[in-house]
Amino acid sequence: MYEHEPEQMFKEACERVARGLSVIPTGGGISPKAKQPHHEALKATGHFTINGEGKRRSSWKELQRRLPTRAELEAWYLEHRARGLGIVTGAVSGWVVVDVDAAGLDLLHDLAWAPHVLTPSGGAHLYVRHPGWYVASNASHTNGQLPPGFDVRGDGGYVMAPPSRNRAGTYRRTDVRRALSIEEIPEVVTVGGVTYPLRAALGLVRPEPVERAERPASSGAGDDDQVPVWLIIDRAAEYAAESRNKGAFMFGLWMHANGYRQDEALHHVMEYVQLVAGLRHGPFTLQEAQQAVASAYRYEKQGAWVRQDDAA
């Protein structure tokens, strides 16, 4: 019955991509990993990272920024026989998905929301247009402000798409085609005597702008001839509009070139993170910045900066 399931998923994936959605292959079928990314298919098409042991680990981060190519879809489904389809949520596809499981069905009924997808476990998916700012996924796992049974898949997340299946059954479309609007999501709901800031907890309230940090008045070593850290931070921040990671990497290169130890660079990169955090959508963590700095220190040390008046 399911002999041609990969071909069916390939057709479905092509249709989703043609509509501007990013997708990933999942295990699908009755596999215990039905809802997980198809690791071998992703690695075979270059979507992987190298861990500390030198082993390849699948990654779909690139597909959070772009749509897959036809060649990638063919490799995933026709060559590696993936049987499931995941839609990447967030800005890349233009959607945020409210994911409701059995514990949230009573509230779903009270809100009179019509699901777009019914899940094999008896839950539901409701699609909301991406609002244009960063929407975190799995918010209930981090802030505890969502009511029981409610979760959100935004930037950095994905949901299973019909007609994918798992051991419990098949994901099914409903007849509902109109997206759930932000205005239909109440600001607060009360469940079991507890009040939850539903709209904000789903990430659907515009965040306050993050102010740029003030430049440190004094930072770095006391040597008058050494380039001050604040100047290196300012130069690195010029790259942030293109890539905050690239700016952190350049910060590491320049700190290394100008005689700062790696532990000093790892400490001061926090000031860079504070300066550039609000310049682009999405989180930018200290850990990411420190990884970029550590990578920079593995490169050959460049020449130190020279004062302009000394160079004349």
pLDDT tens for 178-215 read: 999 999 999 999 999 999 999 998 989 887 653 444 44
Q: Within 10 A of 143 (CB to CB), how many other CB atoms are there?
A: 13
Q: Are 67 and 20 in contact (CB under 8 A)?
A: yes
pTM score, two decimals? 0.69
CA distance 1 to 186: 44
- Supply the mean pLDDT for the chain: 87
Q: What is the rounded average pLDDT of the residues 12-31?
A: 95
CA distance 288 to 244: 9
Higher pLDDT, 210 or 268: 268
Q: What is the pLDDT of residue 303?
A: 87
Q: Within 10 A of 220 (CB to CB), how many other CB atoms are there?
A: 19
CA distance 134 to 291: 22
Residue type, 18: A
Three-state DSSP state, 129: strand
Indicate the pLDDT class of residue 44, thresholds 50, 70 and 90: very high
Q: What is the pLDDT of residue 242?
A: 72
226 has pLDDT over 90: no
CA distance 121 to 92: 27
CA distance 136 to 229: 32
17 has pLDDT over 80: yes
